[in-house]
Amino acid sequence: DTGVSQDPRHKITKRGQNVTFRCDPISEHNRLYWYRQTLGQGPEFLTYFQNEAQLEKSRLLSDRFSAERPKGSFSTLEIQRTEQGDSAMYLCASSSPDRTNYGYTFGSGTRLTVV
């Protein structure tokens, strides 16, 4: 169990640029989640995958945001035409299909700064 890995840890980008983040979940976890955390707030749900299927999307996920999990393993989150309001920590989490193992394992996050 190597944990949930996120890359990069930090990203600084100019407004209007596109960015892509990667998340590698725990290998046996079939569920993968993306959350966004702004300063002084708790994480907010963005989207959720079970295997390669994207099963739920928050209305926070505007049309500039897209997430994929093409082979049911790693996932990417892309933000197009970034805005200053996109500056946040983007957290990925995964969970086990074992119903007795409630609760996610979070990665360390990708901190995005839009300048």
Q: How many Å apart are CA 50 and CA 14, to the nearest integer?
A: 33
* CA-based torsion, 71, 75, 81, 85: positive or negative: positive
- Produce one character per residue of 20-48: b if its CB has 16 or more CB atoms within 10 Å, e if not: ebebbbbeebbbbbbbbeeeeeebeebbb
Report if residue 111 touches other proteins, rule: CB under 8 A: yes
Residue number with CB closer to other proteins (82 or 95): 95
Go through the chain and tell me how many residues it has.
Answer: 115
SS3 of 86, please? helix
Closest distance to other proteins from the beta carbon of 41 (Å): 6
Instruction: Give the separation between CA 16 and CA 24, rounded to whole angstroms.
Output: 26
Number of residues forming the site for other proteins (CB under 8 A)? 31
Q: Does 90 bind other proteins (CB under 8 A)?
A: no
Of positions 45, 65, 69, 74, contacts other proteins by CB under 8 A: 45
Residue 70 found at the interface with other proteins (CB under 8 A): no
Least separation, in Å, of the C-beta of 108 and other proteins? 5
Given 33, 69, 86, 114, the residue binding other proteins (CB under 8 A): 33
Residues in contact with other proteins by CB under 8 A are 4, 6, 31, 33, 40-45, 48, 50, 56, 58, 91, 93, 95-99, 101-109, 111
